Amino acid sequence: MSLFPSRRRPGFHAGDDLQAGIAVRLDGVRSVALETGRSRLLATALMFVVVFSTLALRLIDVTLFDRETSPESGARGGRNGGVEMARADVTDRNGVLLASSLPTVSLFARPDDLRSARADPVEAAARLNQVLPELDVAETAALLSSARQFVYLRRNLTPRQYQDVNALGIPGLQFEKGEIRIYPHGPLVSHVVGMTDIDNIGIAGIEKRFETALRDDHQPLTLSLDIRVQTIVRDQLLRAVEEFKAIGGTGMVMDVRSGELLAMVSLPDFDPNDPPPGTDPALFNRATKGAYEMGSTFKLFNTALALESGRITLNSSFDATKPLVFAGRVIHDDHAQNRWMTVPEILIHSSNIGSARMALEVGTEAQRAFLGRIGMLAPPSIELPEVGAPLVPNPWREINTITIAFGHGLSVTPLQLLSGTATLVNGGEYHPPTLLAHSSGEAGPGFRVVKPATSAQMRQLMRMVVTEGTGKKADVPGYLVGGKTGTAEKAGHGGYRRKAVLASFIAAFPMDEPRYAVLIMIDEPQATRETFGFISAGWTAAPAAGRVIAQIAPLLGLIPKPATPPPPLAGRGREGRPATATTQPGGHEVAVFD
């Protein structure tokens, strides 16, 4: 008998233990299988999540951030919705876009592929003509049936053209990724920025000069130009050219402390987005390429040379009572003062006789050395490929010394005149002209040409030319404008052309502390009723320079100053009316109207 009572339920049999064990084991197997299935399903789901997440992220990356480009379009930085361009942007000093690139495609064909597909070249050409009407059917068919490996059919398709051509489904037609250069301001900066050819290679201006840098550098090329100043100069120069029915002109603004050019305009100009043929005169940059006899504006350099030599002072006087006869030539002043004149009077009244005698006093060698130091005898070192060389007399005789004193016998570019004048007023240091922006406050390289005292005297004299001489129409209240007029007849066949003149006004302001120099030159102005028949610079170029200064001075942050009497200047004698001077170099009369 068992000592313990039985725990079995009623009706429970001994065989039930085995069955219960089997049931427990089956339940465990099912549970393990179920858990395994759940784990595998979870792992599979996680795998799909990872895969699709990766694909989604890659899609976002490609769509928004991918910077990889085709070999045809290069790997350079751009600003076109994440597509990098092979050519860097060009901007003005304030970051305004002057030149940029846009992605584009070009249509080309592989004639072998057309033949392999048994496509009819004439039919294909006719279908292409329906969406690209500018394509001649016969010429296109000839290209499609040629033996060449590939032929270009149309460069730089628009997105609509690309879509329409692609929809034609013509075998053998393919598209090449590339870029097209655009110039948002059109003609405004055409001579400076230049342009590229159909293969996007620079062929003029900054585009050509910095071809390698624009392709290799990852940053925009920043120019010294200020598009606001450029616009004002072009507007006023265009107004003057149209008003006086001139054949062209040039205008520039320079920072006299650094040599940076804030504006450079040459008229006529062109649109680099649709450039003219290579023989078009509008492609010629008068500011840097043309070499001209600059007339009486050169008297500034003659006067500075005389004062710098130490042999002549503001109190020195020279005989202008009668014409100067030298080496068989006669130099005289029309509307002459017929008296001895001091150095300030010679400049104010633009006396050829006085200027010639001053140059003879200093000497030929000193004149040539001075003009060399101030940049008149070699091409200017500007960052443009279109630069002209000065026309220098050889041999340099005393008669050349005389005529150069009043702006004939030596031809220079307008840019040289501007940078030389900046040297005279900025304290006497020459800064090479540049189209590249300097760092803020950076003066740039330079070297001394004249003493600060000579520069101070030249500023006073230039101010007097505007207040008392031929530059009165360039005066702007509050900005102490100084300058010099120059009107020179242009050389022609058999001598000088009396009615074809270059009228120039070179200015600087404010003369108590010069910041900027301005040059306006008008090529062959015609007389008008408003100028009483005069075509001289005092009536044509000086007013345009005054309008430019009046607009750009406040824009550049210069505050106008109240008018104050000028300080006394030595060498001021009896005042006379401005002279009209003539000379006869080489037996031909040359008129200098100011």
- Selecting among 73, 224, 296, 355, the annotated active-site residue is 296
The alpha-helical segments, DSSP class H, found in 93-226 are 111-116, 121-131, 137-144, 159-168, 190-193, 205-209, 211-216
Question: How many Å apart are CA 251 and CA 249, to the nearest integer?
Answer: 7
221-222 and 90-91: which strand pairing? parallel
- Radius of gyration of the chain measured on its C-alpha atoms: 39
466 to each of 1, 245, 553, how far by Cα in Å?
145, 25, 17
- Phi-psi sector, 330: left (phi>0), alpha (psi -120 to 50), beta: beta
296 is annotated as an active-site residue: yes
Q: Tell me which residue of 346, 300, 293, 305 sits closest to 485, measured CA to CA.
A: 300
Tokens for 168? Answer: 């034609």
What does the block give as tokens for 472?
A: 């009165």
Q: How far is CA 145 from CA 121, 125, 141, 575, 588, in A?
A: 6, 10, 6, 84, 66
Alpha-carbon span 506 to 484, nearest angstrom = 6
CA distances from 202 to 78, 114, 385, 465 (A): 17, 35, 11, 44
Copy the structure tokens of residue 197: 């050819």
User: Which tokens sit at 569?
Assistant: 């200047």
Q: Counting Cβ atoms within 10 Å, is residue 225 exposed (0-12), middle (13-18) or buried (19+)?
A: buried
> Cα separation of 488 and 408, whole Å?
8
Which residues have a catalytic role annotated?
296
